[in-house]
Chain A
């Protein structure tokens, strides 16, 4: 178990005549025993980064270190890492026992009896001890998932690498496995890099989250940090569900004027000084319906049970709000909303860089806020 350090990691692919930069000079440190989630939209380079760490891809430049050892030029089988693949990649012709024991058989000089005993221990830990004689195709998705985990655990590797391991499960099983995985990782205390495109999963599971876009690392931090203090518009937009409402507004002294009826007076104008226009962000959960405020026209109301999602029109812009389950405007009804200035996000209209993030009820987590910003 060790710290994993990526130092200006770069990976380019040849595609016809052009070079595609999949990973663009990433610096990242994954701490010993940490559960780090790499998250981003598809094609952002998160899986490529993971595969570089695994040794399945040659890096174009930069270095990868496990602890103090430079492993950049080592092949996958020399790195002592274990990986769980999206489709589990169980060997179809081997039963569960052989699947789990395969790694030890190949890479250690332990006797078959020793290997067998460890397979049984791991299987018991995962609750699949009754399935040891079965072939992968006889197992359900959840059981296959456990076998794949078992195959990784038994190796007692330097690090676990997981590539969207839960995305093939149905919703209920997924949330169950999510908890189980976290408990397991906590008990084993193995450095883990977990790739997903699902920000909810990322928020729920990661000790820290690394948000990627276009091959670059946007922000690394705790779930709270990336949610409350995104470094730029992309992170603000990507993290949080439903997504943050974003629109342009012009700055006139202390006044912001946006689409439709939107107008807001700032108490503190420092963030917008020198700007003629900004991007305004308001999270759906910060919107409060009031008697007198900014007018919006209700389009759709989605009851969620404990609350309602209100989709409304703000000068041609769709605004999403999470409102109390008692608030039930009908389509076409005009309602008014407002929000606290503390909850307001402001971004540079050119660079997308954050000018102001949430300040209300600030509680610096143990990891602080913004840790590393690249790009």
Chain B
């Protein structure tokens, strides 16, 4: 019995040690980014000894990041030069010029619009596949399912040609639209919406609901948690897109990944600015992660639904 408890204690120790080591290794790079972003570049490069205490140069580094000509990381109020002249006065009409978007705002804007649009498209398609019968339903569903194993981010060549054909190069729509009918999203919504009892929909039909009301008054509200999980998957997908934005976006419209890449590519690496940019880019997601922890985990799990 004593032997048993001693062995148990060893196992417990090992498990804790392993988990703690993992947690430390996970956190070190994240913490290090933060510390480095608060240090002066000279200070940072002068010593090989890593610093653990944050410095006070964050704002200064941020300013030098903002002062760069080719990359606008955080936006600023725009010059509203676009207006309609009515003769007796003019009206500014271009809301986009109220604020010139920097990479941070571009990324957030694109990810939010993409997530909302994709949620609508995927949930409607999922609802159709789950709750209606129509011709060619199965072949269409399997066609969409098959694209799940395709690395769809790789379709940049034809997409690039297509976008230049329809005049969407250097437009946010170019990086929002191609994945808006996300195959994974359609698949997940279809799986989850199958669990809505038919009686619930029939009951609403008898209460006088139209088919579209079934979708947005019954199906959507009961799918809240699945939608939240899917929203996270979609948001992260768009947030991390790099290859296609790099190809299609031009200076001034860069999203975060492309913008940070600009800081690295040149002859000289701007450590201080990169670190500030990295910190700023991680903060929104970490906040999102901590606030929506439960949905985050279920989002990851939703993405792993077995077929």
Contacts and interface: CB of A to CB of B under 8 A. Distances in A.
A89 B205 contact: no
Contact of B207 (A56, A77, A92): A77
Given A76-B202, A85-B202, A89-B200, A107 B208 contact: yes
Interface stretch (B8-16, B35-43, B173-181, B217-225): B217-225
Nearest to B220: A93
Nearest to B221: A93
B204 interface: yes
B77 interface: no
Nearest to A161: B206
A162 to B, nearest CB: 12
Contacts of A82: 206
Contacts of A155: 207
A54 interface: yes
Contact of A85 (B199, B209, B213, B222): B199
Contacts of B218: 91
Interface in B193-213: 197, 199-200, 202-210, 213
Given A92-B222, A93-B221, A93-B224, A103 B199 contact: no
B206 A106 contact: no
Interface residues of A, number: 23
B132 to A, nearest CB: 14
Across the A-B interface, the 10 shortest Cβ-Cβ residue pairs: A107-B208, A103-B207, A89-B199, A89-B203, A93-B221, A106-B208, A85-B199, A77-B208, A76-B205, A89-B200
13 contacts: A54-B206, A55-B206, A56-B202, A76-B206, A77-B205, A77-B206, A77-B208, A77-B210, A89-B199, A91-B203, A91-B221, A94-B221, A106-B208
Interface of B: 197, 199-200, 202-210, 213, 218, 221-222, 224
Interface of A: 54-56, 75-77, 81-83, 85-87, 89, 91-94, 102-103, 106-107, 151, 155
Given A56-B206, A76-B205, A103-B206, 16 more contacts: A54-B202, A75-B205, A77-B209, A85-B202, A87-B199, A89-B200, A91-B218, A91-B222, A92-B200, A93-B224, A103-B207, A106-B207, A106-B209, A106-B213, A151-B203, A155-B207
